[in-house]
Structure 1
Amino acid sequence: MVECRYCEQAFEEESAIREHLYESHERDELSRIDQKRVDQYVEEHGLDEGSREENQIADQSINREQRTVDPPDGTYPADAWELSDVEALSTDEIVAKLANHGIETNETAFRNRVEDCNSATALSEQWEAEYEVDATGYDQDFIWMTAQELWERWTTDVPNKERIYDFVQKGRDLREKGKYAEACDQWLTAWEYILAVIPDDITTIEEADRTLPTFLSLEAFIRSLDSDLATVAEDDPAYHEHRLKFCREVCEQFPDADDEFLLDFHHFIADSLAELDRTADSRAEFKALIEEYPEDPWAYKKLADSYWLDDSDDLTIEEIERTAELYQAALKADTPLEGASIVADRLDEVENRLADTGASDERES
């Protein structure tokens, strides 16, 4: 007899428990061994899982997230392994328990293995494929949890996909407490890990998303982090530097992202440069945007503002004329410009300055 640990039904055949798990329980309720049972049932019956998670990295992340929350009745099954249980073991105890399950490892062997691996779950699957692993039920959870814990102890300098969740969640917790700068620090570390585990040949966000744990929507994460960095930078200018570096890395990592996304992040780069008083660099960025995206009104408007609002008293005739041309281009662009009336008013000011300067020149001559 095989018992279902989620509803206490019993089944005589393994095939029956697989079907029951597939039909009666949400996948994110399941332990890793039961997720494998569902996978086997799907494969045996040629089913399309559709919305069911097929990525084992995502499965582990879901398990990790679930295990940070107490179950409704406050108790876990007596034989269930929790991450805290594994963390409480000494390294010697972990190694000995792995040996009892047929897996032989030590620090040197582990470090050699992670050189070509960016996921603790993938490493545990290597063990299962290479050794005759004697682990059933919740002990299969112990295997991947152990891979995660030993990674933390022996190769903490090597990023893995599972740690991304930790940094993202810590950031969320800090943000809820109003500690926005500290939250950004955690998310920037998560970003470093994301860059480290994404394959080098990936150039779009969609491709990268498919290689990462599915708890994370990469574009939403990137945009949210940029927004929070900009907010924190209003009080702490050092975060303009952090935002600048982050946005440049985003553009460099994903050069084939869609135009709207890249346009936004090149604007963020130019804005950060302006906030850092690197005016020449900011103007160069806006000029590059105008060349690449000639129908974007904002690059014209912001470049004109950099002259008119910052240096209007010191502008040469040529610079005033150029400022007028930029405001005119912003108003004529096919893409609608929010605040067009403000731009029109500034254009009037610039043209009045030109008229006054011309009249002054005539009087002097």
Structure 2
Amino acid sequence: MRFEQKLQEKPEGLEQISKQFEEYSDLKDISFKDFILESWNFNKLKKMSTSEIIEKLKSMNVDFEIERFKEQAQNYISAIQLAEDHYYTQNFQAQGKDEDFIWLAIIELWKRIIPEKYNMEMIDDLIQDGYDDIENQNYKDGMEKWEKAWNIIVSIVPSHIKSVTDADKFIPVLTQCIFNWCQDFEMELANAALEDASFHQKRIKYCQDFRRFFPYSDKSIIKNMLKAEAESRAELGILKQ
């Protein structure tokens, strides 16, 4: 979905890929460009009001009520799973790409109606948006998003889970697994600290928190976190007590 959304935001890229698709595809009756432009994505839903989203669901014969939705969400940490269990099981009427509207709508409505209840999709958005910021050398915003993602992860993952591998099993639907991302977070904090020394303190705290929440993680990760903390302490001239 992010791929389609980025293509919609970059017409020149869409035009190029569309030509390549038409050149090599035997399905000449399908316009890749039109398919992408007509597809639903998060940006399109963000431009809709809450009432417009709900009315669109109702027009598809999807029964949605805000209070019932709030109750349903209390038992979930994934908006997509909630959509699968309670909305795709209805006798909805959707043609073609409209079927995607349902799960996109549930994700967007969750953000608006119960933003204080965190879910997996919020984590994924923050992580992927953070990668985009870092790619554009915007470390400040990227690290801010990743710090939020980390805080949500440790608030969602049950306290009995003590390794990042088991955390991945509990939150299995992320675009980037926590095992890899947690190491990227440490490294990018180090890169951010090259421009702003205050990130050394954030790096120290993150490494300490990681070892506290996931002490039984892979030994190589724990070792790297200890090393990273020591490096930042040295840069700040802090002796470990």
Equivalent residue for 1:231, pick from 160, 175, 191: 191
Give CA deviations for 1:167-218 in whole Å, capped at 9, x if unaligned.
2232222222222233222222222233233333322222222323242032
Alignment RMSD (CA, Å): 2.5
Q: State the partner residue of 1:243.
A: 203
Q: State the partner residue of 1:94.
A: 53
Q: Tell me the CA shift for residue 98 of structure 1.
A: 2.4
In 2, Cα distance between equivalents of 1:230 and 1:79: 41
Q: State the partner residue of 1:135.
A: 93
> Which TM-score applies when normalising by structure 1?
0.53
Amino acid aligned to 1:132: Q
Q: 1:90 to 1:226 in 2, by over 3 A?
A: same
Larger Rg over CA atoms:
1
Does residue 213 of structure 1 match 2:173? yes
Q: State the partner residue of 1:76.
A: 35
Does residue 150 of structure 1 match 2:113? no
Q: 1:82 to 1:224 in 2, by over 3 A?
A: closer
Equivalent residue for 2:138, pick from 173, 179, 189: 179
Task: For structure 2, list consecutive stretches of 5 or more residues without a partner in the other structure.
Answer: 9-13, 19-31
> Which TM-score applies when normalising by structure 2?
0.77
Q: Which runs of 4+ in 1 moved over 6 A?
A: none
The 8 Å contact of residues 183 and 221 in structure 2, kept in 1 or not, is answered as: no
Q: 1:264 to 1:65 in 2, by over 3 A?
A: same
Does residue 253 of structure 1 match 2:191? no
The 8 Å contact of residues 161 and 212 in structure 1, kept in 2 or not, is answered as: no
Report which structure shows greater RCO (CA 8 Å, sep ≥6).
2
In 2, Cα distance between equivalents of 1:151 and 1:214: 18
Q: State the partner residue of 1:162.
A: 121
Give CA deviations for 1:285-331 in whole Å, capped at 9, x if unaligned.
xxxxxxxxxxxxxxxxxxxxxxxxxxxxxxxxxxxxxxxxxxxxxxx
In 1, Cα distance between equivalents of 2:161 and 2:43: 35
Alignment of 1:201-350 (within 5 A): 201-210=160-169, 211-279=171-239, 282=240, 284=241
Q: Tell me the CA shift for residue 110 of structure 1.
A: 2.7
Task: For structure 1, list consecutive stretches of 5 or more residues without a partner in the other structure.
Answer: 1-62, 285-365
Q: State the partner residue of 1:122.
A: 81
In 1, Cα distance between equivalents of 2:100 and 2:163: 33
Q: 1:228 to 1:102 in 2, by over 3 A?
A: closer
The 8 Å contact of residues 4 and 36 in structure 2, kept in 1 or not, is answered as: no
Structure 1 vs Structure 2: percent identity of aligned residues? 26
